[in-house]
Structure 1
Amino acid sequence: MIIKRFFVFCVVLLGLLMTTQASAANRLDSVRIWAAPDTTRVVFDMSNGPEYTYFTLTEPYRLVVDVKQTSSKIDLKKIENNSKLIKRIRLSKPPKKGTLRLVLDLTKPVQSNLFTLPPTAPYGNRLVVDLNDAEGGNSPSKTVRKSTSDSARDIIVAIDAGHGGEDPGSIGPTGMYEKKVVLAISKRLERLINQTPGMQAVMTRTGDYFVDLNRRSEIARKSRADLLLSIHADAFTTPQPRGASVWVLSMRRADSELGRMLEQKEKHSELLGGVGDIIQNSDVEKYLVQTLIDMQKNNSMVVSNDIAKDILRDLDDVTHLHKKAPEAASLAVLKSPDIPSILIETGFISNPKEERQLKDGNHQERVAKAIHRGVLRYFQTNPPTGTLLAKQSNIKHSVKRGESLSVIAQRYQVSVTNLKKANNLKSDMLKIGQKLIIPRA
């Protein structure tokens, strides 16, 4: 009889334990807030995949998220919050036992998008809340700065610091995040470009937050960028590989192992950062515009390759090169058909020596200056029409059959003497195809 009662007691106790575990089968481990100028991402780290519902309230504005069978011991008051959209995150009385009710007190109306992400190193299960300013945001848009003349514009260089926010990028042996290194180099490059007469920089991100691949190209396009530079730091499965490299778009999958890893890394970045789409051409009117798009893309690829060579030439003076020629891979951040785009790997963060270099401010400055010199040299030689650099640059002329120095001088309204001086000519003899610099009058 005693044994029977003890057995019943054990069954009841086991049932109570199972009920308690079922009511709190999941656990909120941490909360992270990533604030961008007009958006905010909140990441709830969970022990298991969450099951949730949500709704919004007004007067005051709130987003309420109910996560089923979840518990938490986090002090939400201690969470770092620099968002312009969120006042605070707090707990509230749940609709039923076992549900965790999270309330986001908001500063204004927002558009919200909630989704879950599976474990992706270095993170586990996540519930992600993306908030967008429903009023359209209040950060001013970049405008093209005029140079010294109303008839000349600046060359716009879009600088894309890779990764950010939820996506740390590659992680070095001592725990250094790629996202921090490349943002530091990008800000130095931004300063150098903005100090150059006739040039202006536009950043795709200015802080520690994630920007999906589509958005990066959109920012460059809306700024009417002449060039997009995406700054990264490389990594490999072993610590030996080292050196900087420059990548341009390939219309097919990369041939090299490093290229294939880079393509995979971009997909991994999207998994970490959220649900950004890979750039694809719309099917709408595709047959009408496809020829124009192909022409733009071919031109952009040629320009990208030429600029990449100039950048490698200067990087070779300040750091070891992994490859001395541009490499090619099919990367979404390079696929904008109308903007020459280049991805620069500033070194291997997985290499202990290069990780130390990449953390060093003096080395970051040298790398930024090398990139700046390569870009400037290209645009001084090939300035886009209508820019200040085009106005200041000498014109180049290829000698054709029947042309003489006097004919060419008359065409460009310069003297024969100045024409010979600009080209270091000792006689009046010319060869067909000879390149001549036409000095400014």
Structure 2
Amino acid sequence: MRTLSRWFLVAGLAWSLLFPLAAMAGVTVESARIWPAPDHTRLVLDVGNKVDHKVFALSGPSRLVIDLKNTRLKADLEKLDLSGSPVRRIRSAPRNGSDLRVVLDLKSDIKPRSFQLEPNQQYGHRLVVDLIDEGGLKSRKPAEPTVTENSNGKRDIVVVIDAGHGGEDPGAIGPRGTREKDVVLKMARTLADLVDARPGYTAKLTRTGDYYIDLRSRTLLARKHNADLFVSVHADAFRTPQPSGASVFALSQRGATSETARWLAKSENRSDLIGGAGGVSLDGRDEMLAGVLLDLSMTASINSSLGVGDSILGRLGNVAKLHKKGVEQAAFAVLKSPDIPSILVEAGFISNPKEEQNLSSSWYREKISRAVFAGIDDYFQKSPPPGTLLAWQKQNGQGGGTVSQYRIRRGDTLSGVARENQTSVSELMQYNDLNDDRVMVGQTIRIPAS
């Protein structure tokens, strides 16, 4: 017994000596990534565990200092591609014996923000440092209405297309490693091309590359562009591979109620227009009237969203399996614009092996994108916003389901256009006085109602 006690005593002393050495080993910065975006740049440090850190900015010259306690650097920060970012150079050095200091030499002053992320499917622990350009997104002036040629001075319908996730946020990841952020960006670009090809429409993208935009900024961008419709594109996922099919979501009434309260609570929202271009301002209104106006606007926006969603589902059902036959409603933050009809399209389940394969192919993404735009066009042909070319065409008997126009894109054929619009090549040739079925990029053709 005495021998056993002596063994435990020796073991305890050994552990007490080894533990400080283990603690001194600290955290290692294994690798780093940088994601430049229009209004901010995100620096991500892959760390072995949670890290005690401090971030602060300095002026004259502009620098950002990142102090990491009990940390050593294993990554080569000098190999980072800094093009497109406000960072001129990255320096690093040990500090206080066991700490690490990283210094970013900047082109101009920025506002820093930092937070840590838990491990996910793709990465381990991460320290995220955002370099925010305060003169970027929030200072952008609202866009001027777009007027196309031969539009009689009438504006285009603006469709803002939002590719979900991006940058450090890969979204869902399929069984073969396909990342949602990549699939939906390609689909958003395809959908934007289709929108721009139709006279009377203009498309805007919330993100044009692989970087992250926070959810509130996505709806802010839609407002800056004076959007008539906001479409967020995603690819669904589930914990098992069986679920499949496309879905369309609109904002739930519960989400609208909470958003109304948020808008009324923030004074900076009072000067924002409600009801789109030329709508009502909350500025100077008392609480009760402001609440009524906001509630009416949210209700109208949800109803319009449901209408657009129904039209899109009707078209999607012709080319793909639907997960649900009706428009679903949820309190997605990205749908919470009080005066812009907003929908979220789940193009399919990337967690389903077959749909992952489909979403990875350009022909399938284009098929889905064409169906989505056909649904959007169906809705706006019936209910065009006032002051738009489509509204003028409908008023003058040139729209509203009688005729529409399409601008030929690279890769289009007359037979393909006929098939997508449920008409025939001969009818298109006759309707457009064509001698053969050859078409040129940029050519505008008229399409009769199917």
> Under a length normalisation based on structure 2, what TM-score does the superposition of the two structures give?
0.75
Deviates more, 1:134-143 or 1:158-167: 134-143
Shift of 1:158: 0.9
Query: CA offsets per residue over residues 208-232 of structure 1, 9 Å max, x none?
Result: 1111111111111111101110101
Within-5 A mapping of 1:218-237: 218-237=220-239
Q: How far has the Cα of 1:278 moved from its partner?
A: 12
Aligned AA for 2:264? S
Distance 2:184 2:321 in 1: 17
1:394-429: CA deviation from partner (whole Å, max 9, x where unpaired): 479xxxxxxxxxxxxxxxxxxxxxxxxxxxxxxxxx
Aligned pairs for 1:185-200 (under 5 A) are 185-200=187-202
> Aligned residue for 1:261?
none
* Number of the residue aligned with 2:298: 297
Comparing 41-50 with 181-190, greater Cα deviation is found at 41-50
Tell me the equivalent position of 1:124: 124
- 1:362-382 Cα distance to aligned partner (Å, 9 max, x none): 111111111111111211111
Q: Secondary structure at the match of 1:240?
A: coil
What secondary structure is seen at the aligned counterpart in 2 of 1:27? strand
Task: State the alpha-carbon separation in 2 of the partners of residues 174 and 379 from structure 1.
Answer: 38
Instruction: State whether structure 2 residue 253 is matched by structure 1 residue 251.
Output: yes
Which sections of structure 2, spanning at least 5 residues, go unmatched?
A: 1-9, 268-285, 398-450
Q: Classify 1:20/1:60 alpha carbon distance in 2 versus 1 (closer, same or farther; 3 Å).
A: farther
Q: Which sits farther off after the overlay, 133-142 or 295-304? A: 133-142
Q: SS state of the match for residue 280, structure 1?
A: helix
Mapped pair 1:36 → 2:37: yes
SS at match of 2:203: strand
In structure 2, the partner of 1:280 is 262
Percent of pairs with identical residues: 45
Q: CA deviation at 1:70?
A: 0.7
Q: Distance in 2 between matches of 1:219 and 1:136?
A: 11
Instruction: Name 1:111's counterpart in structure 2.
Output: 111
Quick check: 123-132 or 154-163, which moved more?
123-132
Q: Matched residues in 2 for 1:161 and 1:44: separation?
A: 25
Q: Bigger shift: 112-121 or 13-22? A: 13-22
- Using the TM superposition, give the Cα deviation of residue 136 of structure 1 relative to its aligned residue in structure 2, in angstroms: 4.3
- Report the AA paired with residue 320 of structure 2: T
* Partner SS for 1:313: helix
Q: Distance in 1 between matches of 2:115 and 2:326?
A: 42
* Structure 1 residue 13: Cα displacement: 8.8
Whether the 8 Å CA contact 1:33–1:83 is kept in 2: the answer is no
Equivalent residue, structure 1, for 2:210: 208
Contact in 2 for aligned 1:229/1:341 (Cα 8 Å): yes
Specify the SS of the correspondent of 1:71.
strand
How far the C-alpha of 1:38 sits from its partner, in A, is 2.4
Alpha-carbon separation, structure 2, partners of 1:45 and 1:187:
31
SS of 1:281 mapped into structure 2: helix
What are the superposed Cα offsets for residues 183-205 of structure 1, whole Å, 9 maximum, x if unpaired?
A: 10000011111121111111111
State how far apart, in whole Å, the 1-side matches of 2:342 and 2:212 are: 19
Query: What TM-score does the superposition give when structure 1 sets the normalisation length?
Result: 0.76
Per the alignment, in what secondary structure is the counterpart of residue 393 of structure 1? helix
Name 1:50's counterpart in structure 2. 51
The structural deviation recorded for 1:18 is: 4.5
Q: 1:93 to 1:61 in 2, by over 3 A?
A: farther
Question: Residue 243 of structure 2 aligns to which amino acid in structure 1?
Answer: P
Offset from partner CA, 1:82-117 (integer Å, 9 cap, x none): 4321123231352x1100111112122111112233
Q: 1:316 to 1:135 in 2, by over 3 A?
A: closer
Q: Give the counterpart letter for 2:182 in structure 1.
A: K
Structure 1 residue 176 displacement after superposition: 0.5
- Determine the C-alpha separation between the residues in 2 that align with 1:352 and 1:187: 24
Using the alignment, how far apart are the partners of 2:322 and 2:11 within structure 1? 69
Structure 1, residues 54-94: CA drift from partner, whole Å, max 9, x if none? 33333432111110001121111223444321123231352
Q: Map Cα deviations across residues 154-203 of structure 1 (whole Å, 9 max, x no partner).
A: 10111111111121111100011111101100000111111211111111
Whether 2:70 is the aligned partner of 1:69: answer yes
- Tell me if structure 2 keeps the 8 A contact 1:30–1:45: yes
Determine the C-alpha separation between the residues in 2 that align with 1:174 and 1:327.
28
> What residue in structure 1 maps to residue 22 of structure 2?
21
Residue 166 (structure 2) aligned to one of 164, 167, 189: 164
Q: Does 1:97 align with 2:79?
A: no
Residue 78 of structure 1: aligned partner: 79
- Please give the alpha-carbon distance, in whole angstroms, between the structure 2 residues aligned to 1:69 and 1:81: 27
Q: Deviation per CA, 1:210-259: give whole Å up to 9, x if none.
A: 11111111111111101110101111111111111111121248xxxxxx
Contact 2:57–2:112, Cα closer than 8 Å, also in 1: no
CA distance in 2, matches of 1:56, 1:172: 39
Quote the Cα distance in structure 2 between the aligned partners of 1:218 and 1:153: 21
Shift of 1:317: 2.0
User: 2:260 and 2:207 mapped to 1: Cα distance?
Assistant: 18
Structure 1's 233 and 278: CA in aligned 2 closer, same or farther, altered over 3 A?
farther
Contact 2:142/2:224 (<8 A) preserved = no
Residue 215 of structure 1: SS of its match in structure 2?
Answer: helix
Bigger Rg, structure 1 or 2: 1
Judged with a 3 Å threshold, the aligned counterparts in structure 2 of structure 1 residues 347 and 179 are, in CA distance, closer, same or farther, namely same
8 Å Cα contact 1:279-1:332 kept in structure 2: no
Query: What is the rounded CA distance, in whole Å, between the counterparts of 2:288 and 2:313 in structure 1?
Result: 37
| 1:70–1:100 Cα contact (<8 Å) kept | yes
2:180 corresponds to: 178
Secondary structure of the 1:232 match is strand
Q: How far, CA to CA, are the matches of 1:45 and 1:235 in structure 2?
A: 26
Determine if contact 1:145/1:200 at 8 Å carries over to the other structure.
Answer: yes
Q: Deviations over 1:292-338 (max 9, x none)?
A: 11111111111111111111111122211112221121211112120
